[in-house]
Amino acid sequence: PKTIYLKDYEQPDYWISETHLTFDLHDDHALVHSRLSVQLNADKHGQALPALVLDGQNLELLSVALDDQTLESSDYQVDAHSLRLQPASASFDLAVTTRIKPRENTALEGLYQSGAMFCTQCEAEGFRKITYYLDRPDVMSRFTTTVIAERGDYPVLLSNGNPVASGEHEGGRHWVTWEDPFPKPAYLFALVAGDLCLIQDSFTTMSGREIDLRIYVEPENREQCAHAMDSLKRSMRWDEEVYGREYDLDIFMIVAVNDFNMGAMENKGLNIFNSSCVLAHADTATDLAFQRVEAVVAHEYFHNWSGNRVTCRDWFQLSLKEGFTVLRDSQFSADMNSETVNRIEGVTFLRANQFAEDAGPMAHPVRPDSFIEISNFYTLTVYEKGAEVVRMLHTLLGAEGFRKGTDLYFDRHDGQAVTCDDFVKALEDANGADFTQFKRWYSQAGTPRLAVEGTYDASARTFSLLFRQSCPPTPGQSEKKPQVIPVRMALLDAQGQEMPLQLSDESRAEGTERVLAVTEAEQIFTFTGVAEEPLPSLLRGFSAPVKMTYPYSRDDRVFLAKHDPDGFNRWEASQALAVEILQGLVGIHRAGRPLMLDQRLLDVYRTLLADSTLDPAMVAEMLRLPSEAYLVELADVADIDAIHYVRDWVRQELAVALEAEMWPLYQALNDQVPYSPSAAAVARRSLKNTLLGYLMLCPSGKALDICVRQFVEANNMTDRQAALVALVNSSHEEQKRAALSDFAERWQSFPLVMDQWFSIQAAASQPGALQRVQELMQHPAFSMRNPNKIRSLIGAFANQNLVNFHLADGSGYRFLADRILQLDPLNPQIAARLLTPLTRWRKYDEARQALMKAELSRIIAAENLSPDVYEVVSKSLV
């Protein structure tokens, strides 16, 4: 497979101003007629006419005509990836007809069938599987699309833009024509045909235009769309208020499909969603699922400006739209829910997952320099770290400066395909800022380390912070230069109050919180007029995606966990304390010595449980021990058995010690009030179910009946699922079996609920998990052709059940490799994503490393491997 490099970017040889498409859909094939108005890119070529090379894959070419003259097959060349012909003029019409087989398309890229409906997924390079085209994001064209299909099976025919005409053909077929007035790249093209029901609403924009909002789902899901619709309307209002962005078409549509490789897709005016990111009802979806629907609906809607109106010049710039849009959706979620809890969840996810990617063989910059298969670069680095990079720009400029910058960006580049540099330049120009050094965040991979030390000089009343930054080598980047690291901080006195801040070059104290921009490899900031030795509260809100260390004592951490006025850093202190204690106990356990729990962790938890003024969601977050995945990420060589044992042991110790405090709180929260999706109700359920998880660990056994009752009587899926998880992870075999079979029987015709059922069992850490997963693969609700099922069973086992996946005999690795080889011919994108846990082999002991590498070698030796899987495996073995 060929590697593509950013440095080789060139403009296209031709532009396509107009794209007219007609889809003739049949049960076993589709005919695609395209008519393109093509113009020479004279800026690049003057008057010379190079060959026109269109991308195309898996297409049966039926005819080609140039300015209405049908071409002979000797007039053009076709190979597995392209159609090449020689134009005779600088401007011409090209008509091409192809035949494709959507029903045989198991890769779910291009035009495919999900159940009985036709749908598309064109990002990144799927349009070339529909027809021959300049399938690159810098070629923007106005699309007109006609869809023809049998009315009985496909009453709903959709594409981008506005419907402009429709009619009937003979024999029960009908057609609809859609016109999208906004030029767009082919990756934003979409088509849907099916028997769908419509949920409709409207939104009045800030300039008074009424927008027709439509959600299309399969009829049995009609009752599950209210939350998505509400989220959409709130997103539209929020984007007007916070970013000044108004919706532009007259109609905005969302369609839910069951077979989808990712979460959703922002096609212009016609977003296509994985049903898991649209459907939500209290009976069937957890609070987490509700939050995900809200966030994904918002994310795709926000792309209308950050991605569609202003798009990417090339796929190396993917983070231009994804990083910025993830930031926008997380700002939205923070505004809709608790800002601190939202940030805690985001940071927890980033640290356990993106940091691991940054430390592994697939590490790459936010703007990668090269790729083999672009689908492999829809990564946590491009999305989540990319969002952190834009967040830092926001922190450095402040909300007002950032908004000035984004206004300029949208004005300046509306209708263009641009680069990350263009984005940063707009922020610079609007604020008179210089982000030259800052842009290293886009080009350097790896998670920077920031070691901080503090020195108090009592006689001079100064406090100095010494920052030392470094960044470990990553593939292809052995040396790193210092980056700009914004450190939001305060100094706390002995009562936990923030002290006034005055830097040595300032004439007076101002405020009690600062953002220090660390730019050098080594840099000192000295505060003056510091009346007593302070305790610094550093990197508040996780103001930069770095690994920061400061020589806090455990007592310091307890103090910060109880007193830091910054909620995020209170949580951070309790997490860091737990990490330090767990790491220490892992060492003790490995040495074969008895374990003893540091009472300071208990002290922090006890204080939390006693404080009724705290947000229950925040208490739940603070009571959650660091995940096994995070502890693995932090280790040089992870002993997963020891980590698992010690973490479970600490959980049990905490449960036993705090049982008396936890019971009344659980009872108070278990108030059987009618279900509400409000933030306050979500927070109460979160704490209640965290407590239930602990109480079920107590040998008193008192919680079992209550847990079973919660499972049976819950009036919502959050409570029911939490009880099921607690039972499945307990040793009460009889109750566990009964609950699992009751659950499956009740929800067997709800695919998304069955996904939960699969994941809960796949992630349960008792011995025998692999066999359980293999048995579950035979369950009628499981399918290797549905990405949600693969993720919920095989993905959950390999990513969440670390102790079973990493069994010392290598059976977990062998199982995963077999599944990847089985899946690759069907769906290479999902096969490549499943590889992630095997790529992390450097984290484990030598014996496991050898077993994991042996499986990677077995995969790479297989014939006809997709470029997707080949790229990940070959890079992992270097």
Which residue, 98 or 325, is less far from Zn ion as judged by CB?
325
Selection from 703, 626, 711, 591 nearest residue 658 by Cα: 703
Strand pairing class (311-312; 417-418): parallel
Which residue, 264 or 802, is less far from ligand HT7 as judged by CB?
264
At closest approach, how far in Å is the CB of 396 from Zn ion?
24
Which residue, 268 or 848, is less far from Zn ion as judged by CB?
268
Q: Quote the CA–CA distance of 525 and 552 in Å, as a whole number.
A: 18
At closest approach, how far in Å is the CB of 323 from ligand HT7?
10
Which residue, 261 or 574, is less far from ligand HT7 as judged by CB?
261
User: What residues numbered 705-734 form the site for ligand HT7, per CB under 6 A?
Assistant: none
Query: What are the residues whose beta carbons fall under 8 Å from the beta carbon of 361, sequence distance 6 or more?
Result: 475, 839, 842, 875, 876, 877, 878
Selection from 257, 161, 178 nearest residue 20 by Cα: 178
Written as one string, the DSSP assignment of 60-129 is EEEEEEETTEEPPGGGEEE-SSEEEE--SSSEEEEEEEEEE-GGG-TT--EEEEETTEEEEE-TTTTGGG
Could you give the 3-state DSSP secondary structure of residue 162?
strand
Which residue, 262 or 852, is less far from ligand HT7 as judged by CB?
262
Cα 195-196-197 angle, rounded to 5 deg:
135
Which segment (10-18, 67-75, 298-306, 845-853) binds ligand HT7 by CB under 6 A?
Answer: 298-306
At closest approach, how far in Å is the CB of 260 from ligand HT7?
7
Query: What are the residues whose beta carbons fall under 8 Å from the beta carbon of 712, sequence distance 6 or more?
Result: none
Place of tokens 């590490």: 363
Helix (H) or strand (E) segment spanning residue 418: strand 417-418
Query: Total residues contacting ligand HT7 (rule CB under 6 A)?
Result: 15
Query: DSSP code of 449?
Result: E
Which residue number has the CB closest to ligand HT7?
262
Contacted by 314, from ligand HT7, Zn ion, none: CB < 5 to 8 Å by type: none
Could you give the 3-state DSSP secondary structure of residue 389?
helix
Could you give the 3-state DSSP secondary structure of residue 325?
helix
Other CB atoms within 10 A of residue 302 CB: 27
Which residue, 261 or 348, is less far from ligand HT7 as judged by CB?
261
Q: Binder to ligand HT7 among 19, 120, 121, 276 (CB under 6 A)? A: 121
Q: Quote the CA–CA distance of 47 and 39 in Å, as a whole number.
A: 11
User: What residues numbered 80-119 form the site for ligand HT7, per CB under 6 A?
Assistant: none
At closest approach, how far in Å is the CB of 264 from ligand HT7?
6
Contacted by 819, from ligand HT7, Zn ion, none: CB < 5 to 8 Å by type: none
Query: What are the residues whose beta carbons fall under 8 Å from the beta carbon of 123, sequence distance 6 or more?
Result: 187, 188, 265
Contacted by 639, from ligand HT7, Zn ion, none: CB < 5 to 8 Å by type: none
Written as one string, the DSSP assignment of 721-777 is HHHHHHHHTSS-HHHHHHHHHHHHHHHTT-HHHHHHHHHHHHH--STTHHHHHHHHT
Contacted by 871, from Zn ion, ligand HT7, none: CB < 5 to 8 Å by type: none
At closest approach, how far in Å is the CB of 80 from ligand HT7?
20
Q: Give catalytic residues, as residue numbers.
A: 300
Helix (H) or strand (E) segment spanning residue 465: strand 462-470
Query: DSSP code of 719?
Result: H
**379 scored as a contact of ligand HT7 (CB under 6 A):** no
Binding to ligand HT7 by CB under 6 A, coded x per residue (else -) over 469-508, reads ----------------------------------------
Could you give the 3-state DSSP secondary structure of residue 433?
coil
Long-range contacts of 674-679 (CB under 8 A, 24+ apart): 674/715, 675/282, 675/715, 675/716, 677/227, 677/282, 677/287, 677/290, 679/336, 679/337, 679/338, 679/617
Q: Quote the CA–CA distance of 797 and 12 in Å, as a whole number.
A: 44
Which residue, 300 or 572, is less far from ligand HT7 as judged by CB?
300
Q: Binder to ligand HT7 among 95, 111, 124, 312 (CB under 6 A)? A: 124
Which residue, 109 or 322, is less far from Zn ion as judged by CB?
322
Which residue, 311 or 483, is less far from Zn ion as judged by CB?
311
User: What residues numbered 245-274 form the site for ligand HT7, per CB under 6 A?
Assistant: 261-262, 264-266
At closest approach, how far in Å is the CB of 267 from Zn ion?
12
Helix axes 717-728, 679-695, angle to 10 degrees: 20
At closest approach, how far in Å is the CB of 42 from ligand HT7?
32
**123 scored as a contact of ligand HT7 (CB under 6 A):** yes
At closest approach, how far in Å is the CB of 442 from ligand HT7?
18
Contacted by 723, from ligand HT7, Zn ion, none: CB < 5 to 8 Å by type: none
Residues forming beta bridges with residue 653, ordered by sequence position: none
Which residue, 196 or 253, is less far from Zn ion as judged by CB?
253
**322 scored as a contact of ligand HT7 (CB under 6 A):** yes
Q: Binder to ligand HT7 among 299, 367, 791, 806 (CB under 6 A)? A: 299
Q: Binder to ligand HT7 among 9, 349, 378, 663 (CB under 6 A)? A: 378
Contacted by 265, from Zn ion, ligand HT7, none: CB < 5 to 8 Å by type: ligand HT7
At closest approach, how far in Å is the CB of 698 from ligand HT7?
43
Which residue, 24 or 300, is less far from ligand HT7 as judged by CB?
300
Omega of the bond leading into 124 within 30 degrees of 0 (cis):
yes
Contacted by 124, from ligand HT7, Zn ion, none: CB < 5 to 8 Å by type: ligand HT7
Contacted by 261, from ligand HT7, Zn ion, none: CB < 5 to 8 Å by type: ligand HT7
At closest approach, how far in Å is the CB of 74 from Zn ion?
44
Contacted by 375, from Zn ion, ligand HT7, none: CB < 5 to 8 Å by type: ligand HT7
Q: Quote the CA–CA distance of 853 and 850 in Å, as a whole number.
A: 5
Strand pairing class (156-159; 485-492): unpaired
User: What residues numbered 294-333 form the site for Zn ion, per CB under 5 A?
Assistant: 322, 325
Strand pairing class (173-184; 141-150): antiparallel
Which residue, 324 or 463, is less far from Zn ion as judged by CB?
324
Written as one string, the DSSP assignment of 126-140 is TGGGTS-B--STT--
At closest approach, how far in Å is the CB of 263 from ligand HT7?
6
Q: Binder to ligand HT7 among 275, 829, 836, 866 (CB under 6 A)? A: 829
The percent of the chain in helix, strand and coil, each rounded to the nearest 5, is 45, 20, 35
**300 scored as a contact of ligand HT7 (CB under 6 A):** yes
Alpha helices in 591-639 (DSSP H): 599-610, 616-623, 628-634
Contacted by 413, from ligand HT7, Zn ion, none: CB < 5 to 8 Å by type: none
Are 428 and 422 in contact by the 8 Å Cβ rule? The answer is: no
Binding to ligand HT7 by CB under 6 A, coded x per residue (else -) over 329-368, reads ----------------------------------------
Q: Quote the CA–CA distance of 691 and 680 in Å, as a whole number.
A: 17
At closest approach, how far in Å is the CB of 9 from ligand HT7?
20
Other CB atoms within 10 A of residue 583 CB: 16
**380 scored as a contact of ligand HT7 (CB under 6 A):** no
Given the rule CB under 5 A, which residues bind Zn ion?
322, 325
Given the rule CB under 6 A, which residues bind ligand HT7?
121, 123-124, 261-262, 264-266, 299-300, 303, 322, 375, 378, 829
